[in-house]
Amino acid sequence: MNTRIVNCPHCGAPVVWGPDSPFRPFCSARCRQIDLGAWANDGHRIAGGAPADDFNATEPPPATPRE
């Protein structure tokens, strides 16, 4: 069986990808929590454009009349 080794996304430590590594792809609970905190504080973002104007609307769109 081939053992796969990945690098922890936070600290770069080698991590065995398997059931013996419960925090994979992170090396520890600490690195996992640091990464989660970065997402919560907008330290990480997914690239994309600004949301459409109607996404930020505070009023619902007008109802469509039924026939």
Position 40 pLDDT exceeds 70:
yes
CB 26 within 8 A of CB 35: yes
Which pLDDT score, from 0 to 100, does residue 55 have? Answer: 56
What domains can be seen in the chain, in order of their start residue? 5-44 (3.30.50.10)
Which pLDDT score, from 0 to 100, does residue 54 have? Answer: 60
Closest CA to 24 of 6, 42, 51: 6
Which pLDDT score, from 0 to 100, does residue 52 have? Answer: 67
pTM of structure: 0.61
Tokens of 41: 């504080």
**Confidence at 10, pLDDT banded by 50, 70, 90:** very high
Q: What is the DSSP string of 43-57?
A: SS-----PPPGGGG-
CB 32 within 8 A of CB 26: yes
What integer is the mean pLDDT of 33-40?
A: 90
